[in-house]
Amino acid sequence: MAGRSLTDRPVGGRAAPGEPPPEILVDLADLYRVPLWILARVLLAFAPVSLLFRLAAVRGSIGWWFSSGSAQTLRELEIHLGHARGKRELRRIGRRHFQFLQRERLAKVWPLIRGFAGAEAIEIEGRRHLDEALTAGRGAIIASSHFGYPRLIKPLLSSHEYRPQLVGMARLPGRRADAVLARPFTRLGLFVYARLLRLPRASPYVESWRRAVGEDLAAKINLRPHLTALNRNDILVILADGRAGQALRPIPVLGCDVPFAPGTMNIARAAGAPLLPAFVVDDPHSRDPMRARLVILPPLDLQVTGDAKADLTANLRSFAAVFEEHVRAAPHLWSRWSLEWRKRRYGPLWTPRHGA
Structural element, H or E, at residue 266: helix 263-271
Regarding beta strands 256-260 and 249-253, do their DSSP bridges make them parallel or antiparallel, or are they unpaired? antiparallel
Average pLDDT over residues 263-272: 90
Crossing angle for the helix pair 69-81 and 339-346, to the nearest 10 degrees: 80
Identify the band that residue 170 occupies on the pLDDT scale cut at 50, 70 and 90. Answer: low
pTM surpassing 0.85? Answer: no
Buried b vs exposed e over 232-269: b needs ≥16 C-beta within 10 Å?
ebbbbbbbbbbeebeebbebebbbbbbbbbbbbbbbbb
Is residue 240 within 8 A of residue 264, CB to CB? The reply is yes
Alpha-carbon gap, residue 112 to 197, rounded angstroms: 14
Crossing angle for the helix pair 224-231 and 263-271, to the nearest 10 degrees: 50
User: What does the pLDDT look like over 122-156, one tens digit per residue?
Assistant: 889 999 999 999 999 999 999 999 999 999 999 99
Alpha-carbon gap, residue 122 to 108, rounded angstroms: 15
Given a cut of 80, is residue 163 above it in pLDDT? Answer: yes
User: What does the pLDDT look like over 20-56, one tens digit per residue?
Assistant: 555 678 888 888 889 999 999 999 999 999 999 999 9
Alpha-carbon gap, residue 44 to 185, rounded angstroms: 21
Identify the band that residue 284 occupies on the pLDDT scale cut at 50, 70 and 90. Answer: low
Alpha helices in 15-139 (DSSP H): 30-46, 49-66, 69-81, 87-109, 127-134
Contacts of 275 (CB under 8 A, 6+ apart): 140, 141, 143, 264, 265, 268, 299, 300, 302, 319
Percent of the residues in the chain that have a pLDDT greater than 70, as a whole number: 81
Alpha-carbon gap, residue 133 to 139, rounded angstroms: 7
Alpha-carbon gap, residue 22 to 28, rounded angstroms: 15
Identify the band that residue 183 occupies on the pLDDT scale cut at 50, 70 and 90. Answer: low
Is residue 319 within 8 A of residue 279, CB to CB? The reply is no
Alpha-carbon gap, residue 37 to 11, rounded angstroms: 13
